[in-house]
Structure 1
Amino acid sequence: MPYWNRSAGADHVFVASHDFGACFHPMEDVAVADGIPEFLKKSILLQTFGVHGPHVCQEAEHVVIPPHVPPEVALELPEPEKARRDIFAFFRGKMEVHPKNISGRFYSKKVRTELLHHYGRNSKFYLKRKRYDDYRSEMARSLFCLCPLGWAPWSPRLVESVLLGCVPVIIADDIRLPFPSVLRWQDISLQVAEKDVASLETVLDHVVATNLSAIQKNLWDPVKRKALVFNRPLQEGDATWQVLRELEALLDRSQRSRVGSSRRCFIGVVKRLIFRWFTGD
Structure 2
Amino acid sequence: MNDTHSMAPSTPVSARIEKYSNVQRLEASLGHARAAIREALTTNEDHHTQDPDYTPTGPIYWNATTFHRSYLEMEKHLKVFVYEEGDPPVFHYGPCKHTYAIEGLFIQGMEISKFRTRDSERAHLYFLPFSVTMITQVVYVVDSHDWGPMKNTAKDYVDVIAHKYPYWNRSLGADHFMLACHDWGPEISFAVPNLYNNSIRALCNANTSEKFNPSRDVSIPEIHLPSGTTTGMLGGPSPSHRPLLVFYAGGVHGPIWPILLHHWQHHKDPSIQIHEYLPKNTSYFAMMRQSKFCICPSGYEVASPRTVEVLYTSCVPVLIKDHYVMPFSDVLNWKTFAVVVAVEEIPDLKRILEGISGRRYLRMVKRGREVRRHFEVSSPPKRYDVFHMILHSIWLRRLNVRVRDVDVP
Q: TM-score, normalised by structure 1?
A: 0.72
Q: Using the TM superposition, give the Cα deviation of residue 3 of structure 1 relative to its aligned residue in structure 2, in angstroms.
A: 1.3
Q: Secondary structure of the equivalent of 1:66?
A: coil
CA distance 1:78–1:17, shift in 2 (3 Å): closer
Q: Which of 205, 210, 223 is matched with 1:68 structurally? A: 223
Q: Which of 216, 231, 239 is matched with 2:386 structurally? A: 239
Contact 2:317 2:338 in 1 (8 A): yes
2:198 aligned with 1:45: no
Q: Secondary structure of the equivalent of 1:234?
A: coil
2:181 aligned with 1:14: no
For residue 56 of structure 1, what is the aligned residue in structure 2? 211
Aligned residues: 232
* Structure with bigger gyration radius: 2
Per-residue Cα deviation, 1:63-111 (whole angstroms, up to 9, x for no partner):
1111124433444x345425x223221111113xxxxxxxxxxx533x2
Contact 1:108 1:149 in 2 (8 A): yes
Per-residue Cα deviation, 1:118-161 (whole angstroms, up to 9, x for no partner):
11121332122236894222211211111111112221111110
Quote the sequence identity (%): 23
Q: Which of 360, 363, 366 is matched with 1:217 structurally? A: 366
Q: 5+ residue gaps in structure 2?
A: 1-158
CA distance 1:206–1:44, shift in 2 (3 Å): same
For residue 160 of structure 2, what is the aligned residue in structure 1? 2
For residue 251 of structure 2, what is the aligned residue in structure 1? 94
For residue 25 of structure 2, what is the aligned residue in structure 1? none
Q: TM-score, normalised by structure 2?
A: 0.51
For residue 126 of structure 1, what is the aligned residue in structure 2? 273
1:1-281 alignment, distance < 5 Å:
1-5=159-163, 6=165, 7=168, 10=173, 12-19=176-183, 21-23=185-187, 36-38=190-192, 40-41=195-196, 42-51=198-207, 55-58=210-213, 61-69=216-224, 70-75=229-234, 77-78=235-236, 80-82=238-240, 84-95=241-252, 108-109=254-255, 111-122=256-267, 123-130=270-277, 134-209=283-358, 211-221=360-370, 224-255=371-402, 259-260=403-404
- The one-letter amino acid paired with 2:325 is R
CA distance 1:22–1:156, shift in 2 (3 Å): same
- The one-letter amino acid paired with 2:247 is F
RMSD, aligned CA: 2.9
Contact 1:22 1:37 in 2 (8 A): no
